[in-house]
Structure formats: structure tokens, C-alpha cells
Chains A and B, each alone.
Chain A
Amino acid sequence: MSSKESCRNELRTAICQLSDRCLYSAAKWAAEQLVGIEQDPAKFTPSHTRFQLGSSSIRRRFRTNEIASTPTAGVSSVSTPVLEEDEAIDGDFYLLAKSYFDCREYRRAAHVLRDQTGKKAVFLRCYALYLAGEKRKEEEMIELEGPLGKSDAVNHELVYLERELSMLCKNGTVDPFGLYLYGLVLNKKGSENIARTVLVESVNSYPWNWNAWTELQSLCTTIDILNSLNLNYHWMKDFFLANAYQELRMHNESLGKYEYLQGTFSFSNYIQAQIAKAQYSLREFEQVEVIFEELLRNDPYRVEDMDMYSNVLYAKECFSTLSYLAHRVFLTDKYRPESCFIIGNYYSLKGQHEKSVVYFRRALKLNKNYLSAWTLMGHEYVEMKNTPAAVDAYRRAVDINPCDYRAWYGLGQAYEMMGMPYYALHYFRKSVFLQPNDSRLWIAMGQCYETDQLQMLEDAIKCYKRAANCNDTEAIALHQIAKLSKDLKRSEEAAFYYKKDLERMEAEEREGPNLVEALLFLATYYKSQKRFEEAEIYCTRLLDYTGPEKETAKSLLRGMRKAQSGFSSIDIEHLPP
């Protein structure tokens, strides 16, 4: 990685260039990273310290493997972006067009630039046309919405843009921004392979355009595609890879990348949020909560990624914090899908499922492809016992992202609720296939096999064994295996698993009916195996509990004494209770 100072310089120039071309979201992203770079202690001003003070504490807390302060220098192919100045005469028209653009009068902007030939002008003209087409498409979608849902609205400018940009490409008079736009158009058209090559070319020659990277990332649906990309080295590539790994559910790799990036961009909110996302996927809720608390302190009006925070608060049942968060985002921006989502989560936690559905619906109206909103709405419908609606919601989530194991799991549960366990198995299979290390999924599948209707106990045991192998925190699996083995009259296996379960319960210092059951079984089992010593130990332990088991234990002990010595009849009553 190049030094912080050079990063800073690169970003500063890039921001100017990006906003000059009206690529505002890319400029925003770059600016966020710019202030995320740790300041030179020699130069910082008091205001900076205040801004960065909060962040450092979290860094100290969670970065155990401190990365060397001087990051290894990779060789960037591109150094500082070069500003090329367009001709002054064109510049006037450009200024007019840009101001039109800023007022969202895209067609007017394009019209002003109709005869301009400078690269910057051409790009802005094409970009404005593209946006105009997109805007018209959105409008048409609503106008034309037939009874069967989506209409066939398309961006009418795409054909023209593609022709224009491909011509520029052939003439070699296209800049990286033009390539980015070309890639965008090609991707919309469905020719993904060409789009990928074009975008790679774009980011190789101008790596600071985060929009191009995200577009490229959306085209990398498998790890093989990602690895086959021919990307030059630049520190922006690390951001890209981290993001791509996350989308490909390689959370640990992604986390590694982000932690490495934090070496330079130690105060970047973006990176913190991304780390939180990865930790959330790894189910490290405590850490996620801490990160988000910090984030909110630094950036109180942030709405992005706050939906995840609300999920964590939901899981931890923090009523008041969640309501506070909901209130805050509501005041910041009411019509953001995330805001509605958070409010929906709050109502769900409160048990007001109808209201929660209303808000999830609103979130979905704002963003039809809001994956987790579909899934959570499915959960709400399950709570409301409206299974068909739940199934529908889950299915939509699955269709948006077929790798969403939660939705598959939800589908399975819904069908199981309806008394169709065999049908549900298909969905459970899908979900465990996608997330084989989650014991909860295996347990759910095991329970499905175990239902009265199916009674496929062999398969249930297999599921529970898998669950037990992947760190079953609630310790259901071991107990179930033991019980099922007992039911199947495989006492040896049953004893093995009861013993394991018992050890575990002892380790975690848990009491309860399961413990008693395990003790009782082990006592009878060892007795029948004529291993009286062990049996006696378990029996005596049983005596500590009240209830019918105590009596059974007593009679067991009595029987054993009798068997051991025909003559002796020591009274059990003499033993201490």
C-alpha cells in the first residue's frame, strides 16, 4: 500500500474529478475514505482530534493483531490522477450542462452538449442521457404496470448509448469514465462477459471510481469469476476484494482484508460498517453492537447499514435502544427503506405483528429487492399464522438471492407448520446445504424428520449428529440423539450420548429434567450391563433430586445390593438422603 500521504493526494484529486463528472456517489465514497485516513500527528488541528477521538478507542479494543504501521508497498500501476483540461470554449457549455445536470434536468444537459467532442463533455452527455432514460423507465414502469405486475419498460436510451460508446471504443477516444458507462450499459443489456472486460479496463486505468468497482462486483457471482479478473494492483483493489468476498459469503477473508485496510484508513466509517457486517454474518453480535455504537457517535445521522444494527438489537431484545434508534432514523429520513425496516423490527419485538408488517411493506415498496425485509416479513406472517403469505414472502426473498439460507429455513418451517413435513424437507435440505455449519438448521431438519407423520428416526439422528458437530450452543442435539437411540433400542449408543450430554451439562452447570433423564437412563443401563459400580454412582446422584426418579433410584439400588450379595440386606433408608 502506498503511503498515507499519497493516498490522500490521490483521493483529493479524484474527488474533484468525480464530482466534476457528476459521479456524486463515487465522489461521496472517496471523500469518506479521505477523511478516514489517519492524520499526520504533526499537522492535525484541534477539530480533527475531536472528530477522530471516539474512533480510536474501538480500534484499541478490537484490533488485537495490530498491523505494522508502515504497510507494505505494493506497486500501483497508476499514481496520482492526471487532470486533463478541456478546451476553454467547450468549458462554458460544460458549465451550463453541469448546472442543468445538478438540477436534474438531464435531457437539457445532454442537449447542451450535443456537438461537443471533448471527452469530458461526451461522457457527461452520455451519462445524462442514461439517467434520463432511467428516470423515464421508472415512470413508465408505474404507468404501464399491468395486472400481472412488472411491465416491459426499458431504458430507451440504451441502444443509442451502446452504439455511441462502442464507436468511441473502436476509435480509441474513450476515457475510463466512458468505459465505466459502457460497462454499465452492457450489463443492463445482459452481455455480462463484455461488460466485465470493459469494467476491468476502466478500473485499471482509473481506480478511484468506486461506482465502477461496485458494478464490477455485481458481475462477480462466483469466486472463479473473481479470480479470473485481470486487475492491476492498486490499494482500491483491496476495497473491491473485501467487498466481493463479503458478497460471496467468504466472511473471514473479507474481515482480513478490511482489517488490513484499517491500517491506512483507520477512521473510515465505511470500513467499520463493513466489518460490522462481516461480524454480523459470523454471529458475533457483541462486537457488532460496540462498532455500531461508535459509528453512531461519530456519525449520528447515518441511516446506511443501521438495519443491521436493529437486527442485533432485536436479537438482544434491547427494547429501548431499538426504539431510540428507530426514532432517530425516522427523524433523519422517514422515506428510507432502512428506516421503515428498523421501525418494523421494533414493532416485531413488541409483538405487534400487524404494524410491523405495515412497515416492512413500506420498506419493500421503496426497495423491491430488499432481501432481509422479505425474510423478516415472512417471519411476521408466520407469527400471525398466515402461512401462505409467509411462504410467498420467503419465496420472494429466495428468488432475489437463492443463497439466503434464512428464507429457505423459513419456508421449511412454514410448511412444517402446515403439517407437510415431507414437503418441508426439501427446503431444510436447501438451507443446510447453504449453511452447513449452523447447528440450528440441522436441528430443525432433525425435528422435521422426527415428526409424528414421518418418523424417519434414522435420518433424524444423522441430522442431530451433524448439529452436535457444529457447536450446538443450546445443546439440544446430544440429548435428542440419546433419546432417539433409546427409542430405537440401541442402548449402547444411547448410553454414549447420554454420557456426553451429561458431561456437557456438568461443564456448563445446568440442571433440569434432561439431567435427571440422563442419570436415570445411565443408572438402569449400567445395571443391566452388570456394571454396578457406575450404576451406583448415578443412582446416588439421582437421590439428590425429588420426584418419582428418586424412588426409582432407591429401588434400583436395592435391587443391585441384592444381586451383589445374596445375603446382605443393608437398608437403603440408612443411607443419607
Chain B
Amino acid sequence: MAAMLKPPGNFSVTPHKVSVCILLQIYAPPAQITLPFPFPFSSVVQHNRLGMFLLALTKSCDDIFEPKLDELITQLREIGGELDHWLSDHLTCRLSSLSSPDDLFNFFSDLRGILAGPDSGVVVDDQIILDSNSNLGVFLRRCILAFNLLSFEGVCHLLTNIGTYCKEALSSCPAYELPHLDDSSNEVEALLVYENMDLENFVFDKVTEETEARKMASERVSFHIHAPKALFGLIEDIEVSAELKFKHREKTGEASSFAHHMKDTLRGIDPNGGIFLRTNWQIQGYLCEQADAIEKHSSSVPLNAFESILRQLQKLAPELHRVHFLRYLNNLYHNDYPASLENLHCYFDYSAGAEGFDFVQPTSSASNGFGRYEIALLCLGMMHFHFGHPKQALEVLTEAVRVSQQQSNDTCLAYTLAAICNLLSAIGISSTTEILGSSYGPVTSIGTSLSIQQQLFVLLRRSLKRADGLKLKRLVASNRLAMAKFDLTHVQRPLLSFGPKASMKLKTCPVNVCKELRLSSHLISEFSTESSIMITDGVFSTAWLKNLQKPMGSLVLSLENASGANSNAFHFCAQPNSIPGSVLQLLGSSYLLRATAWEIYGSAPLARINALVYTTCFGNASSSADVALAYTKLIQHLAVFKGHREAFAALKLVEEKFCSISKSQILLLKLQLLHERALHLGHLKLAQQVCDELGVLASSVTGVDMELKTEASLRHARTLLAANQFGQAAAVAHSLFCMCYKFNLQVENATVLLLLAEIHKKSGNAVLGLPYALASLSFCQSFNLDLLKASATLTLAELWLSLGSNHAERASILVQGALPMILGHGGLELRSRAYIAEAKCYLSNPSFSVFENSEVVLDPLRQATEELEILEYHELAAEAFYLMAMVFDKLGQLEEREEAAASFMKHIKALENPQNEQDPLFNIH
């Protein structure tokens, strides 16, 4: 390669280290002293406290940031108690007394005195001598060694650095500054004037340059996507608001550790602040950390600020190519396509994929002199995937498979296969043939006759096997997760004549999915085998040092008032732990998946618990999109069980939390909630409007995932149904069913069939509805969709009921059968529907007499009305009150009858004039 790296210098003497050495000298003075603690200290405790502090300092010396002198002095104040002045004065005195190279030489040779010699047997009891093998001793020896290795030039540079290090600290505290400048104040003032003037110019200049650059950037973008100018204005607005938010958070003291971090970073690399070049490992570690941060919190990292840091780093260390990768990541998560493409190519051109990008030791493949460009392809593929170019992504990944096969880089191959699986499962394409054309690839080689789901399955199996064979624990885990996800939504045998026999064992049962999941969580105990070399424990020590001063900040934003979770119990996760973030992330996603599994199977409490566990324990470790998803699940749960008011209150909180992050997940939730509520209130115009917005989100580009598409048309059909346009609703539902069938979305199939049954029920065509309900039922059975099955049974019962009173008995049996499930796990709406159906069954049964057993009817009706009031579901509530009034009328209880009738009136009126309602919740919209 054109410019080889020098062997990384792991340890270099910096002014900060000199300070630590001075403190060490105070801690263990070479002179013989009779007291149990040396001179300045007044107690053993005090002495030990300094010792602890020094231990932490020496550990954190491997970290990227070294504190400046004034910071060190503040830290000393925390520790030193009444000694602080003496300690800091002594430190500054010693530092400023180092004025010639010879002073430094003497200083370091003196240091040798406080180390115990090899013959440490002759240690006198009352002398404090550092054991040369202790932590402090080793640190000292490293410092001395590093100093001895310095050339004379190096010593000179150290001396100048110490000078700037002291000067900064002095200039920051005015007490020292004034006496120095008194005699020459006039001159200084004059100078200052010029400096200020210049500064202004300079700043102005910078600003104009930046705006120019921005303009250029936006022009370039507009050339690419032909977006109207107004959109850019919007984008800028958003940026500004995000920034403000960032500041605001800092101010309120709610600042996450992350905000702290950014601030530190900015200062750490500040060019005017006297930079001391860090070691290779330190910077690599810092970059790793930042990469994690970007991936986790994506857009809360300010694009330009971080970019400028990276640019500076690049200037300082042009051979450190990882910086390009960070720039790529930064641009990627800020959706800057051209820049991220450019940086990605740049990174791989320079590093050939061999610069510690992949933690698995590249012993065999890197040595063949080819480089590992297949990783470049993998990354490029993922990038296209991120930007929603499935076609290019597939092309690139296919090439990646080919190249990694050629290079026999099995690791990369396994990852690539996993990426392809991801791609295939996320985008809605019915067959890969049209995308890939005639080109050879792993996807087409399986055989074009298979459906995409089958191809996906085969691929998943393959990549799982490969990862297992290669002992890539993390990949195995994530593959298992993918497998479980696949199992959740797909039956592995094609359905023969509407559903297989009940006896057939399907992998979709929750136990199976959980088994897969558990396999993946073995990971946490095994991660150490491939733990990364990059993580130094210096990072943790720095965190510890910071925690000295500030109270432990709770990082989990509590949702107490909304969900009742007690966030205080989870402090432990705010503490630094040694589990790599990626492992935590995987583990967290297994919980998320578990929540989804239970949601589908219909166990609401379990789903809620899993989501809660996720948000509380893994909220820090995982990407913001995942966290948003978990919150979404919790809020949906709230909406179903506690009504919309609570849900909206919670939504407001969550929106604040995720304000700076891409809101698609949250936006979707909001639209869903609004739509639901509009339907309940009979506010059809609004419902239609919300539906249209959903449709925009799911516009028919191949990149949009299928879930969103089905969701949009499902809601469309339901809006039409509410507007009593049965024909159109049926048509929409029908086409939706066709789509689901085409893409093998079997879980959605069951839902759509149920919807069709509902449509026919409402249109008074019960006979037509029956087969749909039955079909849905059999789907539910085969997928173990218990809750959906219960609701299908309910619909079936309602259908039977509408066929006449002679079917009431049958309906009653059905309702009774479904009740346990519904009461245990169902939401408010489902439960009240069941209650009403139950009452209706009794009422329409000719052998039932109201006079004998009125409570059997009245009790469920009362329950139903209570729950419907919470839900504000006018239509059903009116029905329940109507039934109640009728019953009371029969019983001759006139007062109660009037009451029920009045409530009926109220709901009917509300349903008829939805516009009258001045609802504050709609203002959110």
C-alpha cells in the first residue's frame, strides 16, 4: 500500500500525564516520613481518597479525552476537601517550574525514586512506596519509559505543550491573569480591539461561506430529486428546531449522557484548545463509540457539528481512514445520499476493508493481498437498502455474494445472506426475477419457480447454517431472530384448501417462536468469545470520573403517568457495564419480537410486559426506531384498554421524546389513533382525511414495506364501511385480500377475511358473510391467532343472530365459547361487543323470559355501556342503551327506561352531528 501505518504508539507523555505524575509524587513522596500519612494530609482517609482518584485518573489515561488543567483542578477540589488549595497550588507551581528540558529530565529521574526497587523486601513500614507492579506503579513506569524514548525534539514539544496547558488554565481564572497584565494593559487593549474586529470579520466570513455551501448543497439535491424549494425551507426549519431542542434539553438538566458527550467532544478536539495528538487506539475507540451513537440515536447527532469534528480529525490524521466511515455513517443517518455514497467509496478505496472494520480477525483473508472489498459491497448494499433503492441493493448484494464466494470470505458471505434476507422480507416484491433480470445470483439460482417467501426461507436457513458453522454468535442470534420473525408470519407449508388439518404441527405456535428466541439470547453469556478488541476500559473509567460529580441521571424517560411503569427501578442500566452495545441491542430486539409474537397471538398482558421490559432495560442500547416501536406498542395497548384520551396523553409525551428523530413510526401511530377515534365518533370526514394521509405514507413505490400498505387499505375499507358504502368497501377489501394472498401475508389474510364478513354482516347479507367468517376462523386456528379467532367467533355469532331467532341458541353457544378469551385479553371494544351479543342472544331466544331473569341481560349491557363510554364509541353505545331501554320498558321500570333512552338520544345525536363536538384531541392533528 502506498503509505503504510507506523506501528501504533500506544503511550505518549502528555502534559496531563505529567500532572498525574506530580500528584503521584505528592501521594507517595520519596522522603522518609514518620507519620502514617505524608505531610500535607491530615488523615489516612484523605490520603486514600487521593489514591482512589489517582487510580481512576491513570485508568482513564487510555481514553481519548484528557482533561485540561482547570478541569483537573476542579476534580481535585471535589476530592481534596480542605486540601484542595494546597494541592492545586502545588500542582500549578510544579508545572510552571518546568521551564527547560533539563527540568523535565530531573523531574522524571526523581520520579524513579518513588518506585520500589526490585528488591522490595526491604520496605520500611512507615514509608509509602509504590509497588512497581501495582496499577499506579505500572503507570509511572510507562510514563518514565515513554519519556526516555523521546528524542530531544520530543522533549522540546512536551515542554511547549506544558506551557500551553498551563497558560490555558491560567487565562481561564482571572485571579491569576490580572497581575500579569497590569503593566501592559494599554497595549493589550489595543491588541484586543484588533483581535475582536478581526474575529467578527472572521465569523461573518464563516457564516457566509456556510450559507453558500448550504445553498450549493440544496441546489445539488434539488437537481437529483426535483423537490420544490419549499421543502428545503421545511427541512431547514426542522433542523433549527432540533437544535433548539437539543439546547433546551441541556438546560433543563435532563441532558442525557449523550448530550454531555457531544459537548465534550467538541471541546476535546477544539483546535484552539491546544491539541495533543492521541494514540491510535484512543482515536479508534472514540470513533467506535461515535459510530454506535450515530446508529443508536441517528438524527439527534447534529450533522454539521460532527462533520466538522471529523474533518478536523481527518486533517490531523490523514492515514486514519475510519474517519471516512464515520462521515459516511453521519451522512447516511442524515439522509444525504451523494455525500454518503462518496464517503463510503472513499473509505473502502483507502482501507480495502481491512482497517478493523470487522472485528473478526481477518488473518486468512487479509493476508492474500486482495483486500476485502466484498465488505464494501455489503455496506453499499445496505446503504441502498437504507435509501429505499431495493433494486440497486439487490444488485450490489448479489455482487457481494459472488465476490465473497470467490475470496472464500465466509463471514462476509453469511452477513450478506442475512442482509439479503432482510431486504427480501422488508420490501414487497412478488418475485426477484424481474428485478435481477437474467443476471446470475444466489436468489435466482435457487430457482425462479419458488415464491419470494420460499426463497427467503431457504436463504434464511442457509445463512443460519453458515453463521452457525462459522461461530459468529451475533449473526446466529440475529438470524434466529429473523427466523422467528419469519415463523411468526408465514406458514411453512402451502395452504391446501383453506387451512391445514388441525393436527398438523406448525412452527407458528408461540412456544416455537419463543424457543427460537431463547436460542438467540444464549448469546449474552457467550459474547465474550468474540468480544471486540477496540473497547478499552478507559471509557468506563472516564464515565466513572464523570459520575463523581453529577448525580446518576436517569436515562429512561419515564412514562409513569401513562403506563404506570416505575423507571426508578431500572437505574442499573444507566451505569456503565461491559456488555457491548450490539449484543444488548440484539437481546433487546428479541424482547421486542416477543412482544409482537404475543400481540399476534392475542395475549395482551404478555405483549405489554415484553414491551415494557424492552423500553426500560434496553432503551439506551437500541436504536431510536426500535424504541419508538416499543412505545408505539405500549400506546396502542393503552388505546385499546384505557380509551383514547389516555393514549393521546401518552402520545404527546412520546412525541416530545422523539421530536428530533424521524417520526415515521410515531406519525403512523398518531394517524392510526386519530382514525380509530374518528370512526368511533362518527366523524367520517376526518376519518377519510386521515386515511388519505396514510395512503400518502404508503404510496406505491416498491420501497415501502407491505405492512404499511396493507394497513392503509385496511383502514380505507373500514372508513367506507362506516360510511355504509358496502359495495366499495367490499371491493377494497377484496383487492386487499388478493394482494395479501399474492404476497403470502397470511396473518393479514385472516384479518381481511374477518373484515369482509363484517361488511356483509352490516350490509344485511348474513348468508354471504358466513363463509368469510368461517374462512377467517380456520386461518386463525392454523396460525394460533387466539384473540383474532375469538373475535371471528363473535362475528360468526352475530351473523347467525341476524339470520333469525331460531339460530339464537347456536349463536349463544359460540359467544359463550369465545367469552373467556375475550374477557381475558380483549380490548374495550371487543369486550363490549361480546356483551351486547350475549344480551342479544338472550333477548332473541324465544325460550328466554326477561321477567324471570332480567339481570342476565342487564348486567352485560351495563358493562358494555360503561366501557363504551370510555371509548366514546357512539354507535355501539347507542345500541346498548337502546337494548337497555327496551328491557326496562318490558320490566316496567319507567325511570330507568327514561334514563337509558336519554343516553341513547345523546349518543345518536352525537353520532349524527359529529362536527358539533369541539374536541381538544383533534387539535393535536
Q: Which residues of A lie under 8 Å from residue B403 when comparing CB positions?
A: 418-420
Known: A149-B320, A391-B349. 6 other contacts (CB 8 A): A147-B5, A147-B279, A150-B315, A395-B350, A411-B349, A420-B377
Given contacts A144-B277, A167-B194, A453-B402, contact A423 B1 (CB under 8 A): no
The answer to whether A422 and B399 have CB atoms under 8 Å apart is: yes
Q: Which residues of A lie under 8 Å from residue B373 when comparing CB positions?
A: 415, 418, 420, 423
The answer to whether B316 and A148 have CB atoms under 8 Å apart is: yes
Min Cβ gap B213→A in Å is: 12
Please name the residue on chain B nearest to A192 by beta carbon: B209
A391→B369 CA distance, assembly (Å): 12
Q: Which residues of A lie under 8 Å from residue B352 when comparing CB positions?
A: 388, 391-392
The answer to whether A148 and B2 have CB atoms under 8 Å apart is: no
Say yes or no: is B18 at the interface (Cβ < 8 Å to chain A): no
A412→B349 CA distance, assembly (Å): 11
The answer to whether B371 and A391 have CB atoms under 8 Å apart is: yes
Q: Which residues of A lie under 8 Å from residue B399 when comparing CB positions?
A: 420-423, 453
A421→B403 CA distance, assembly (Å): 11
The answer to whether B194 and A166 have CB atoms under 8 Å apart is: yes
In the complex, chain A residues 129-152 whose Cβ is within 8 Å of any chain B Cβ: 140, 143-144, 146-152
Say yes or no: is B497 at the interface (Cβ < 8 Å to chain A): no
Say yes or no: is A386 at the interface (Cβ < 8 Å to chain B): yes
9 A-B pairs closest in CB distance: A148-B317, A149-B319, A388-B371, A395-B349, A388-B352, A143-B153, A147-B6, A149-B318, A148-B320
Say yes or no: is B395 at the interface (Cβ < 8 Å to chain A): yes
**Interface size counted on chain A using CB atoms at 8 A:** 48
The answer to whether A392 and B191 have CB atoms under 8 Å apart is: no
A150→B320 CA distance, assembly (Å): 10
Q: Which residues of B lie under 8 Å from residue A167 when comparing CB positions?
A: 194
Which stretch in B102-110, B198-206, B467-475, B684-692 binds the other chain? B198-206
28 contacts between A and B (CB under 8 A): A146-B9, A147-B8, A147-B280, A148-B280, A148-B283, A148-B320, A162-B198, A166-B198, A191-B202, A191-B205, A193-B209, A377-B2, A388-B352, A388-B370, A395-B349, A415-B373, A418-B373, A419-B403, A419-B406, A420-B377, A423-B376, A423-B380, A426-B345, A427-B345, A453-B402, A453-B439, A455-B439, A456-B437
Please name the residue on chain B nearest to A143 by beta carbon: B153
The answer to whether A146 and B277 have CB atoms under 8 Å apart is: yes
Please name the residue on chain B nearest to A391 by beta carbon: B349
Contact of A146 among B191, B317, B438 (CB under 8 A): B317
The answer to whether A422 and B395 have CB atoms under 8 Å apart is: yes
Q: Which residues of B lie under 8 Å from residue A377 when comparing CB positions?
A: 2
Q: Which residues of A lie under 8 Å from residue B317 when comparing CB positions?
A: 146, 148-150
Q: Which residues of B lie under 8 Å from residue A395 when comparing CB positions?
A: 346, 349-350
Please name the residue on chain A nearest to B5 by beta carbon: A147
Min Cβ gap B1→A in Å is: 5
Please name the residue on chain A nearest to B372 by beta carbon: A388
The answer to whether B9 and A422 have CB atoms under 8 Å apart is: no
Contact of B341 among A170, A418, A422, A426 (CB under 8 A): A426
Say yes or no: is B7 at the interface (Cβ < 8 Å to chain A): yes
Looking at chain A's contact residues, is the secondary structure mostly helix, strand, loop, or mixed? helix
The answer to whether B438 and A423 have CB atoms under 8 Å apart is: no
The answer to whether A152 and B275 have CB atoms under 8 Å apart is: yes
In the complex, chain B residues 7-35 whose Cβ is within 8 Å of any chain A Cβ: 7-9
A419→B440 CA distance, assembly (Å): 13
A376→B195 CA distance, assembly (Å): 47
The answer to whether A194 and B316 have CB atoms under 8 Å apart is: no
Given contacts A193-B209, A420-B373, contact A147 B316 (CB under 8 A): no
The answer to whether A163 and B316 have CB atoms under 8 Å apart is: no
The answer to whether A148 and B319 have CB atoms under 8 Å apart is: yes
Give a binary string over A453-464; 1 marks a CB under 8 Å from any B CB, 0 the rest: 111100000000
The answer to whether A150 and B318 have CB atoms under 8 Å apart is: yes
Given contacts A147-B7, A419-B403, contact A387 B2 (CB under 8 A): no
The answer to whether B349 and A147 have CB atoms under 8 Å apart is: no
Min Cβ gap A12→B in Å is: 39
A393→B3 CA distance, assembly (Å): 9
A192→B213 CA distance, assembly (Å): 14
Give a binary string over A388-419; 1 marks a CB under 8 Å from any B CB, 0 the rest: 11011111100100000000000100010011
The answer to whether A418 and B2 have CB atoms under 8 Å apart is: no
Say yes or no: is B356 at the interface (Cβ < 8 Å to chain A): no
Give a binary string over A362-404; 1 marks a CB under 8 Å from any B CB, 0 the rest: 0010000000001001000000001111011111100100000
Q: Which residues of A lie under 8 Å from residue B438 when comparing CB positions?
A: 455
Q: Which residues of B lie under 8 Å from residue A143 when comparing CB positions?
A: 151, 153-154, 157
A455→B441 CA distance, assembly (Å): 12
Please name the residue on chain A nearest to B284 by beta carbon: A148
Contact of A148 among B154, B205, B318, B370 (CB under 8 A): B318
Min Cβ gap A448→B in Å is: 12
The answer to whether A422 and B2 have CB atoms under 8 Å apart is: no
A422→B394 CA distance, assembly (Å): 11
Q: Which residues of B lie under 8 Å from residue A391 when comparing CB positions?
A: 349, 352, 371
Please name the residue on chain A nearest to B344 by beta carbon: A426
Q: Which residues of A lie under 8 Å from residue B345 when comparing CB positions?
A: 426-427
Q: Which residues of B lie under 8 Å from residue A389 when comparing CB positions?
A: 1-2
Give a binary string over A147-161; 1 marks a CB under 8 Å from any B CB, 0 the rest: 111111000000000
Please name the residue on chain A nearest to B349 by beta carbon: A395
Please name the residue on chain A nearest to B6 by beta carbon: A147
Min Cβ gap B912→A in Å is: 60
The answer to whether A422 and B396 have CB atoms under 8 Å apart is: yes
Given contacts A146-B9, A194-B205, A423-B396, contact A387 B198 (CB under 8 A): no
Please name the residue on chain A nearest to B323 by beta carbon: A148
The answer to whether B208 and A193 have CB atoms under 8 Å apart is: yes
A31→B736 CA distance, assembly (Å): 84
Query: Among the interface residues A147, A364, A421, A452, which one has the most CB atoms of the partner chain B within 10 A?
Result: A147
A348→B206 CA distance, assembly (Å): 46
Please name the residue on chain B nearest to A170 by beta carbon: B194
A422→B377 CA distance, assembly (Å): 9
Min Cβ gap B150→A in Å is: 11
The answer to whether B194 and A392 have CB atoms under 8 Å apart is: no
A42→B5 CA distance, assembly (Å): 65
Min Cβ gap B522→A in Å is: 36
A479→B241 CA distance, assembly (Å): 59
A455→B440 CA distance, assembly (Å): 9
A85→B552 CA distance, assembly (Å): 73
Q: Which residues of B lie under 8 Å from residue A387 when comparing CB positions?
A: 370-371
A433→B191 CA distance, assembly (Å): 50
Please name the residue on chain A nearest to B209 by beta carbon: A193
Q: Which residues of A lie under 8 Å from residue B275 when comparing CB positions?
A: 152
Give a binary string over B204-223; 1 marks a CB under 8 Å from any A CB, 0 the rest: 01001100000000000000
Query: Among the interface residues B195, B283, B317, B341, which one has the most CB atoms of the partner chain A within 10 A?
Result: B317
